[in-house]
Chain A
Amino acid sequence: MLVEKQKELMISMKNRKKYLIGIFQDEDMILNAVKSVCKAGISIFDVFSPYAVHGLDEAMGIKRSRLPIVTFLAGLTGGLLAMLLQLWVFNIDWPIIVGGKPFNAVPAFIPIAFELTVLVGGLVTVAAFLFRSRLGPGATPKLFDSEVTNKNFVLAIEQKDASLDINKVKEMLITLGATEVKEKEV
């Protein structure tokens, strides 16, 4: 389901679409609203909030992100490459006597290998995050409400099939505590 949503989202980037949005003022309400709307079988396009509302991902059925796997693989690569580079340099490319130490001075190679594990792991994870979330310099935000980065919690429902009774949903949102319900093309 998530993948489909994503696909739709991608299409929506190209052509503007109509959404029904409900604006809420606090996180308990939006959590409640999301749960109720899902229960009603209406698929939610997305919820926008000024901060991370906990429990929302579960309510919306968002699967746990796979970023940690990315971090693990990237970190492993970084660390291994660093260790291999150091071993290669001191054993093969340029074996030179330094301080009487053996060429395979592995303990001395650990600090740099560790640092590169962290560096590569961190940077790749950030890159993966930006890529996955389509964030980056120049990316245009999908703003349903100008106050979403300030105080408003926004629940957006895409009006894609006619079967959706807009008025009924509107009513439902108002009952759930929405201070404002409107239709918007984004």
Chain B
Amino acid sequence: MSQRDKKNQYWRSFDEKEQSPAFLKEVEEEFANGIPPGVDAETHEPLPVSRRDFLKYMGFGLASVAAACSPIPTEKAIPYLVQPEEIVPGKAYWYASTCFGCSSACGILVKTREGRPIKIEGNAESAINQGGLCATGQASVLELYDSGRLQGPLDQGKKVGWDNLDKAVLAKLNELQDSQKQIVFLTGTITSPTLKSTIDQFLSKYPNAKHVVYDAVSASGILDAHEFIFGKRILPHYRFDKARTIVSFGADFLGTWISPVEFAKQFSRGRKLDQKNMSQLYQFESGLSLTGANADIRVPLLPSQIDSSVLGLLECIETGEIKSAPQDNGIRSQIKKTAENLKKNKGRSLVVSNSNDIDVQNIVVRINQILGNYGHALRIDQGSNQKKGHDKSLDRLVHDMKNGQVEALFIYGNNPAYSYFDSKSFVEGLEKVSLKVSLDNRNHETAQLMDYHAPDHHFLESWGDSEPVEGVFHISQPTIRPVYSTRSIGESLNNWMGIKEDYQDTVKKYWEDQVFPYSGQLLFDSFWKKSVHDGCCKTNQFKPVKQRDAAQVISESVKQILKKSKMLESKQGWEIHLYESVALRDGQSANNPWLQELPDPITKLTWDNAANISSKDAKKLNVKQGDVIAIKVKGRTYKLPVVIQPGQASGSISLALGYGRTKAGKVGNGVGQNVYGMLNGSNANWNYYVQNALVSTTGTSEKLALTQTHYSLEGRPIFKDATLNQYKSDPAAGNKDQVDLVMLWEQHKTEGHSWGMAIDTNACIGCSGCMVGCQSENNVPVVGKEEVYHRREMSWIRLDRYYKGDEENPEVAFQPMMCQHCANAPCESVCPVLATVHSADGLNQQVYNRCVGTRYCANNCPYKVRRFNWFDYAHNKSFDYYMNDNAGKLALNPDVVVRSRGVMEKCSMCVQRIQEKKLEYRKQGKPLNSDDIKVACQQSCPSDAIVFGDLNDPKSQISKLLHKNKRRYQVLGELNVKPAVNYLTKIRNKE
């Protein structure tokens, strides 16, 4: 420690300050047994990695409970269920918070063990996601422990203290105080009202300050159309549960669009068979999306045909005649049928489109207006805040930057150097900005071009709030002390405004002023406590919007669409359709190995994006799966491997956004291709499709890490379905091949409980949230592209996806498949060492300790759900994803052992969760209510497709569901293995 620094050092005692001999001796003796790890042996100064090492050494031990993660992370955080005096080791505490994995801002519960968050689940109290949570949200816990995050503030790329950073930024800001040039705060959609007001407050100090909101995948078209028609830039809040006929033009609302978990919940509620009516979904789209896969009627269309189809639908609803739709009889008759159905369900239908074209969205508004859906299935008086991006304002900003009109740029929550279609211009413009500050906690493509980095906390470390839908508030509270030396963005802004206030107090003050008065509560303190405890609250704040008839203003839009579609008819070449993938979305979470390895629910591709083309086109181009094609768009060539995708509209190619990151981190760098540059952005809003692409073959091919390569059911009765009419006349429709099988010996009786599961394939939408939920709960390793390519992915639950019928437009089946816990388990009888045996309560147990790894059980499993540890995944440089990382290890669930090399593993039906509840009830002296046990996949399911419980208890939810249920069947039941997992047939609402 140099003399100069000493003045700035804190001292612990007077002895230390005075450097008394006694103290110095003590210091010497302190390290009598060697220098503690993370400290330089010569200088006794902490090594650069000391913070990480600190976590490593302290994270697991009891000491950590006292030191690193003191009783409650931040003084006033209130745990969800109990208010502990101290943290009890081995006991999990749950905190309510908000997910910021995307801008949907779902309510979450964070499970912490020994002070570290290990799992994120949906908060059932939240009005948005109602207990479900998507893959991205659940995976965001891993980003907390990502060693690739920024670990402290940076000044021109050099590490500095926060004080120094603040000084430097303030000095710069003071210079700009009177500048007439722009000061711009560029963010993604901000759902947090407190943060929004803090930013506004910060910007209000400067004369020419602007807040620009930019979404990589935007909904500008909808916002613009509503602004155009209603005079207010608002995103409607959609209610898919209120619609009996749902028509979607390209909007993947079950997978990625705006608020997928919320929509999935709503959608599945409308699809329940026990109610009077089951909703019907029409999907018009180019590439097969998750929503398209769940559609009752799906119409594959070229991207350019969608616009005129929307217009055609309007015409058909208005007059019964189609004038403008594509000249294809099939498409026209489908539009006609759709229109008829919509008219029958006026006020109980919903038409949505993901188009970013204001003209198209104007027509959609008009259709919904005619159908009387405003106020029912979509509301604008209580609009959504989940997408706020304004495409044109970013275009303008880039223009201004290039002209040298921007003095300062703050970025937060977005990454235009990667995701803006004209990132080159953005980067060029950025060079002319004199103050560039990034508040993101990653040094991503844009952030690394900035001068100052004031990294924000991970959302699990900071206070915050959100208002995803007007009147619905979520709170966000820290669940751990900051892992790195980061600072919440609110605190940074407070500091730069000269306000000495904890951000927690800022949030609280905002709630006191802006939320509490509308809550109908009497005392703020109790309101606040309850809100923090529940994680959410509702207010009755309505902001009525004046209704206007769109009919008067859309004639120009009609003309525009007609003009465009005329133009398109004469054009040649391929059409490219760009979409967000379910796992990576817009690419912000590209460094998350769980998401990279999560197979796309449709293509089943991991660790890559590919060009999805129809088999017809593949034949035309003479390419096979994996062959690389070159796509030339706007003068740039993109080379991507081909995935032959049933249901892909011929003549179109679908490409997933969010890949090809170059500064995401060690996991996400160089995975796939960045295709944001293909976006069509001239003059209007950015369009997520392009025409006139040139496609050529390259003669090379690439390995595709697919988790499923065969998509036909081969006519096997594995997945069973029927149409709604068939079901109505006979509930056993599609499920008639059940036979009684003879047992050669007497069956063992299950004692006490008999654990079982029911999976309703009618509810399952294939979102794959269960896969990440399981991975997080059960410490399932990530194995990387090469190993997935070798078909060695470790996921305990997989989502089998089959196609049926016409390859051009197939029926899709999703079937979650995990260990079936067979009563006559074929795996058990072949294990030579009894490493897999049956419990008395009906579980097929895997004893890792005893396993010698013959893999005989996996071979003999008819469901192929057993996973083998081919390598040591946990401490292995070849698998450096998260388990090999000191920080990443903290995300492991201590209740589940990390498996060693050479042993078999598989779904345990979350036996640790069963055990936990069993003990809880025993302590209370009550008989166990098995409905209280929620296994990880079941918990995460946004469509409530999975039910777990005690089959021996006639009162349990599962027993009631399965009792005399004619839809009940067991996969491969004819083998007489007697699985404990039951499936229910899928009912399609179609002819």
Please list the residues of chain A having a beta carbon within 8 angstroms of any beta carbon in chain B: 96-102, 108
Contacts and interface: CB of A to CB of B under 8 A. Distances in A.
Given A97-B837, A100-B822, 16 more contacts: A97-B828, A97-B839, A97-B840, A98-B828, A98-B829, A98-B834, A98-B838, A99-B824, A99-B826, A99-B828, A99-B838, A100-B747, A100-B823, A100-B828, A100-B838, A102-B745
A99 B834 CA distance: 10
22 contacts: A97-B748, A97-B837, A97-B840, A98-B828, A98-B829, A98-B831, A98-B834, A99-B824, A99-B825, A99-B826, A99-B827, A99-B828, A99-B829, A99-B838, A100-B822, A100-B823, A100-B824, A100-B828, A100-B978, A101-B745, A101-B824, A108-B829
Contacts of B825: 99-100
B747 A96 contact: no
Contact of B838 (A97, A102, A108): A97
B740 interface: no
Contacts of A102: 745-746, 748
A13 B73 CA distance: 91
B889 to A, nearest CB: 34
Contact of B834 (A96, A100, A101): A96
Interface of B: 745-748, 822-831, 834, 837-840, 978
Contacts of B834: 96, 98
A98 B827 CA distance: 9
A91 B24 CA distance: 70
Nearest to A98: B828
A108 B832 CA distance: 13
Contacts of B831: 98
Contacts of A96: 834, 837-838
B746 A101 contact: no
A108 B747 CA distance: 17
A160 B154 CA distance: 112
A98 B837 contact: yes
A145 to B, nearest CB: 54
Question: Which among A96, A98, A100, A108 has the greatest number of chain B C-beta atoms within 10 A?
Answer: A100
In terms of DSSP, what is the predominant structure of the interface of chain B? loop
A101 B823 CA distance: 9
A99 B978 CA distance: 10
A175 B413 CA distance: 118
A96 B822 CA distance: 15
Nearest to B747: A100
Contacts of B828: 97-100
Contacts of B837: 96-98
A103 to B, nearest CB: 9
A98 B745 CA distance: 13
Contacts of B826: 99
A98 B837 CA distance: 5
Nearest to B978: A100
A185 to B, nearest CB: 60
Contacts of A100: 747-748, 822-825, 828, 838, 978
Nearest to B822: A100
Contacts of A98: 828-829, 831, 834, 837-838
A96 B829 CA distance: 11
The 3 closest A-B pairs by CB, nearest first: A99-B829, A100-B824, A97-B838
A33 B837 CA distance: 71
Nearest to A108: B829
Nearest to A103: B748
B509 to A, nearest CB: 61
A108 B837 CA distance: 17
B115 to A, nearest CB: 39
Contacts of B823: 100
A154 B746 CA distance: 69
Contacts of A101: 745, 824, 829
A102 B829 CA distance: 11
A80 to B, nearest CB: 23
Contacts of A97: 748, 828, 837-840
A30 B746 CA distance: 69
Nearest to B828: A99
A184 B827 CA distance: 71
A100 B746 CA distance: 9
Nearest to B823: A100
Contacts of A108: 829
Question: Which among A99, A101, A102, A108 has the greatest number of chain B C-beta atoms within 10 A?
Answer: A99
A129 B745 CA distance: 45
A97 B829 CA distance: 9
A97 B825 CA distance: 10
Nearest to B748: A97
Nearest to B745: A102
A12 B31 CA distance: 82
Nearest to A101: B829
Contacts of B822: 100
A14 B832 CA distance: 53
Contacts of A99: 824-830, 838
